[in-house]
Every structure is written in C-alpha cells, then in structure tokens.
Amino acid sequence: MSQDLELLVALQETDLQLAQCQTKTRHFATERERIEAEFQHHIATYSTAKTNLDAVRHRLRDLEIELSHFQAQFAKYTADLQRVRNQREYETAIREIDMAKKSAAQCETKIAEARAEIAKLETEVASYAPEIEKLRAETDLALAENAQAEAAYLAEVEVIRQRRQEMETKLSKVWLNNYARVSKLRGGHVMSQVINGTCSACRMRLRPQVHSLVRQGIGIHTCDNCGRILFYRPDAEAKPSVEKVAAATAD
Ligand SMILES: [Zn+2]
C-alpha cells in the first residue's frame, strides 16, 4: 500500500476516534447537569421553606411601613383635635382618629402573625442547614471529580488532534481534499476495505482492473458506486470477515 493510502487509512481511524470523543465530551456536560439537578432535587423542601421565609420577611417590611403610615395619621388627627372650631370638625377628627387607630391595630396583629411565622420558618430552614452543607460538599466533590476526568480526557483528545494535524501535513492536498469531500458525503466514513473483490462499504463488485491495482497497491482508487477510497489488506481475505458473514446472512 502506498504511503498516502496508509496515511488516509490512519486519518480515517483518527477521525472515527475523534467522533467518538465528541460523544464522550458531551457525556461530561450531561453528567455535570445530572449531579447539580440531583442536589436541587434533594434540597427542594429546604428551597420551599426558604422562599416562604423570604416572602414573609418581605410582607413584614410592607406591614411595618403601613403601620408607620397609620401612626402618622393618628398623630396628625390628634393634633387637629386641638384646633377644631366647631362640632362638625370635632366629629371629623374623632372619626379619623378612630379609623387610624383601628387600622394600626389591625396592622399590629398582622405584624405579630408575620413575626411568629418568620420565627417558625427560620427554625425550619436552620434545621436543614447541616444536611444541606453535607450534600453541597458531596455535590462539589462529584463535580470536581467530573471536571478532573474531563480535563484528563480532553488532554488525551488533544494528543489525537495533534496526531491528525501531523498526518495532514504529510498528505498531498489533492487527497486531503478528496478525503474531506467523501467524508462530507458519507457521514465521515471515507475509507472502504476491499474484500474478495468487493467494496465492503456498499457491497459493489470492483472492476477486475481496479481490483488488481488496489490489490497491488498501485495508485489510489475510489469505488465507482459509493465514491469511497479503496484499500486492501491481504489478511482480511484469509478468513471470512464479520461483515461478510453478516452480508451473507442478510442475503
Ligand atoms: Zn463502494
């Protein structure tokens, strides 16, 4: 087999390897998401309590603002009472004072309820803290292990990539372009082994002359039917290949 053809076969093997690498690289990201989702699932009860706590704290702040508003109204109308000039103004001031007092009292009741609820929720949230801390530590450890494995794997992939680049520099531009064209056309499967005079990829029988040249390793030839680049290995014909048996069974 010519050096170019050997290089093309090696390039194909490398590309198939790199395609598998892509799948495995995605696996690391999926695993990362799974680990984080599992943590979120475990702390769902805690998260609900924490959200409720935040909401009640917010409500308490609003109620306190409301209360100070009614207290200010109460002070204002009490002062007005000192300046009334007739019965009508007196009655109005008294009515406003009563309303402000009543509203403030309602507010105070709601504030007391909110404070009690906050105390209860704070206790609940605090009770989850040790378990969450433990879970978070476990999650972070799992994430770190995943990141470490990914980094190690990516370093391996980088070595394969570099090897591919080296192959590219050794190959002629014409064959590199041909390889790229067929790869695009055939979903990355460019090379086809000739077994018993047949293209193993599409099962098309080769013309005798082409078969003879491929066997002798003279030049580089493509399959007339599928366009893949053909190569021949003598040991492949010594015993029936898996592909051949599968093809025979299918027929
Ligand atoms: Zn073919």
Distance 199 CA to ligand 1 centre (A): 5
For 193-220, what is each residue's pLDDT tens digit? 999 999 999 999 999 999 999 999 898 9
Assigned architecture for domain 23-169 = Orthogonal Bundle (1.10)
Confidence of residue 238 (pLDDT cuts 50, 70, 90): low
User: With left for phi above 0 and alpha for psi between -120 and 50, is residue 57 left, alpha or beta?
Assistant: alpha
- The residue type of 144 is A
- 3-class secondary structure for 113-182? HHHHHHHHHHHHHHHHHHHHHHHHHHHHHHHHHHHHHHHHHHHHHHHHHHHHHHHHHHCCHHHHHHHHHH
* pLDDT value of position 250: 41
- What is residue 251's predicted lDDT score, i.e. its pLDDT? 39
Q: How far does residue 213's CA lie from ligand 1's centre (Å)?
A: 16
Q: What is the pLDDT of residues 93-119, one digit of tens each?
A: 999 999 999 999 999 999 999 999 999
pLDDT digits (tens, 9 = 90+) for 22-56: 889 999 999 999 999 999 998 998 889 999 999 99
Using the mean position of ligand 1's atoms as its centre, give its distance from the Cα of residue 170 in Å: 26
Where residue 3 falls among pLDDT bands split at 50, 70, 90? confident
| Rounded distance between C-alpha atoms, residue 213 and residue 227, angstroms | 16
Which of the 8 DSSP states describes residue 239?
Answer: S
CA of residue 197 to ligand 1 center, whole Å: 11
- Please tell me the distance between residue 228's alpha carbon and the centre of ligand 1 in angstroms: 6
pLDDT digits (tens, 9 = 90+) for 52-89: 999 999 999 999 999 999 999 999 999 988 988 999 99
CA of 2 to the centre of ligand 1 (A): 20
- Considering only residues 148 and 246, tell me which one the structure prediction assigns the higher pLDDT: 148
Q: Looking at this protein, which amino acid is placed at residue 187? A: G
Q: How many CA atoms lie within 13 A of 86 on its CB side?
A: 1
Q: Which helix (DSSP H) or strand (DSSP E) does residue 108 occupy? A: helix 87-170
Measure 22 CA to ligand 1 centroid, in angstroms: 27
**Does 244 score more than 80 pLDDT?**
no
Query: 246 pLDDT exceeds 80?
Result: no
Q: Please report the pLDDT score of residue 249 as a whole number.
A: 42
Ligand 1 centroid – CA 169 distance (Å):
27
- What does the domain layout of the chain look like in residue ranges? 23-169, 172-250
C-alpha 188 to ligand 1 mean position (Å): 14
The answer to whether 190 and 8 have CB atoms below 8 angstroms apart is yes
Burial 3-13, CB ≥16 within 10 A → b, else e: ebbebbbbbbe
Q: For residue 223, how far is its CA from the centre of ligand 1 (angstroms)? A: 5
Q: What distance in Å separates the CA atoms of residue 245 and residue 195, rounded to the nearest whole number? A: 12
**How many angstroms separate the alpha carbon of residue 99 from the centre of ligand 1?**
94
250 Cα–ligand 1 center, Å = 18
Calculate how far, in angstroms, residue 3's C-alpha sits from the geometric centre of ligand 1.
22
- CB distance 74 to 101 below 8 Å: yes
**pLDDT range class, residue 243, cuts 50, 70, 90:** very low
**Separation of CA 153 and ligand 1 centre (Å):** 35
Q: Which amino acid is at 82?
A: Q
Q: pLDDT tens digit string along 158-198?
A: 999 999 999 999 998 999 999 999 999 999 999 999 999 99
What is the rounded distance in angstroms from the CA atom of residue 163 to the CA atom of residue 169? 10
Cα-to-centroid distance, 160 and ligand 1 (Å): 28
Q: Which residues lie below 8 Å from residue 96, measured CB to CB, with a gap of 6+? A: 73, 77, 80
